[in-house]
Amino acid sequence: MTQLGASLPIVLVAVGQDEDALDACLAALDASTPAGTRVWLADNGQAGPRGVGLVQGWLARTPLQAGYTRRAEPVSEVAHLDEALRACGGSDVAILAADARPAPGWLQRMEACLAGDAALGTVTPWCNAGETASWPRIGEIEPDLPSPTLLAEACAKLKAQADELPAAVGHAVLLRGSAHATAGGLDATSFRSWPAALIDLSLRLAGLGWRNALCPTAFVLRDGEGIPGDGDMDALAARWPNWNARIARFLMDDPLQAMRAQLGEELARVARLPPQLELFPELV
């Protein structure tokens, strides 16, 4: 029998140096992702001996269809991700930060969002440290969150509408393979960090007619935001002179405020519901 996960997008995780965060990320992947999902742990020569041991132990027991590669000589973060994406060919790829923890259903819901609108080039889920896609407040980091299960249940009750984001955000993003290929991939010459390269890719996609959107039914947790590399934001401003004004306007206007409030309301509701809800359909 074919496993559900085999038909889902590839999950790409760029392995980092934070071993505790990596351990939590892998545990969350197992708990929230269907068995058989293709997962590629791509190590840019970053993991130490304990990190490599964690990966090898996880590979031996995970129900996911997972593999691990390690570069003998590291390159820039962007060059490494670009190399991995090109190796995936035209496949849709979900890039998950190595310090992120996806909530249940994250990948299926992001895939459904991407499939629901052929104009979508990128899909980004909610995150407690997701900048423009942050919840409960835009542009802020919220460390005190309910369980991933409750967050997933609340997100599932939102309307699956793909509202526009200024750009995809690096905690987790699903890239449409054909859009990524059309845009020419990541610019590893101009940018060294993933956050800046992802903004640049998003803006190039938008210029080609693709959309960068929020998937409101999915949530990925993270302890902190991605950090741009030295000089990356200057390079971004030089290439896209209106970017700083555009992101500032989005943060001030917060066009997703109503949806953020709705997620909070749904979360409060599911948190009050009793266990074994299927026994009490009149409460739904």
Q: Which of 104, 208, 218 is nearest to 169 (CA)?
A: 218
With tokens 């038909």, the residue in question is: 7
**Each residue's pLDDT tens digit, 28-47:** 999 999 999 999 999 999 99
Per-residue b or e along 141-155, where b marks 16 or more CB atoms closer than 10 Å to that residue's CB: eeeeeeebebbbbbb
Q: How many angstroms separate the CA atoms of 60 and 77, rounded?
A: 27
pLDDT band for 271, please (50, 70, 90 cuts).
Answer: confident
With tokens 């899909």, the residue in question is: 123
Q: Is the pLDDT of residue 279 over 90?
A: no
Task: Say if 102 falls within a structural domain.
Answer: yes
- Mean pLDDT within 115-129: 97
Q: Is the pLDDT of residue 210 over 50?
A: yes
Task: Say if 111 falls within a structural domain.
Answer: yes
The pLDDT value given to residue 141: 96
Task: Say if 279 falls within a structural domain.
Answer: no
Task: Say if 62 falls within a structural domain.
Answer: yes
The pLDDT value given to residue 3: 62
Q: Is the pLDDT of residue 192 over 80?
A: yes
Task: Say if 63 falls within a structural domain.
Answer: yes
Domain that holds residue 218: 4-274
With tokens 């997100």, the residue in question is: 155
Q: Which of 215, 128, 208 is nearest to 168 (CA)?
A: 215
Q: Is the pLDDT of residue 11 over 60?
A: yes
* Residue 113: Cβ-neighbour burial (10 angstroms; 0-12, 13-18, 19+): buried
pLDDT band for 280, please (50, 70, 90 cuts).
Answer: very low
8 A C-beta contact, residue 251 and residue 137: no
Report the CATH number at residue 112. 3.90.550.10
**Each residue's pLDDT tens digit, 152-170:** 999 999 988 889 999 999 9
- Mean pLDDT within 94-105: 97
Q: How many angstroms separate the CA atoms of 146 and 157, rounded?
A: 16
Q: How many angstroms separate the CA atoms of 166 and 246, rounded?
A: 7
Contacts for 41 with CB less than 8 Å, ≥ 6 apart: 13, 15, 55, 66, 67, 68, 69
Average pLDDT, the chain: 93
Residues above pLDDT 90, as percent of the chain: 90
Task: Say if 128 falls within a structural domain.
Answer: yes
**Each residue's pLDDT tens digit, 230-244:** 999 999 999 999 999
H helices within the chain, ranges in order? 19-32, 49-61, 77-87, 106-115, 148-156, 177-183, 194-207, 232-239, 243-253, 257-272
Task: Say if 284 falls within a structural domain.
Answer: no
Task: Say if 281 falls within a structural domain.
Answer: no
The pLDDT value given to residue 275: 56
The pLDDT value given to residue 283: 41
Q: Is the pLDDT of residue 72 over 80?
A: yes
Q: How many angstroms separate the CA atoms of 172 and 254, rounded?
A: 20
Contacts for 245 with CB less than 8 Å, ≥ 6 apart: none
- Mean pLDDT within 135-145: 95
Q: Into how many domains does the chain fold?
A: 1
pLDDT band for 111, please (50, 70, 90 cuts).
Answer: very high
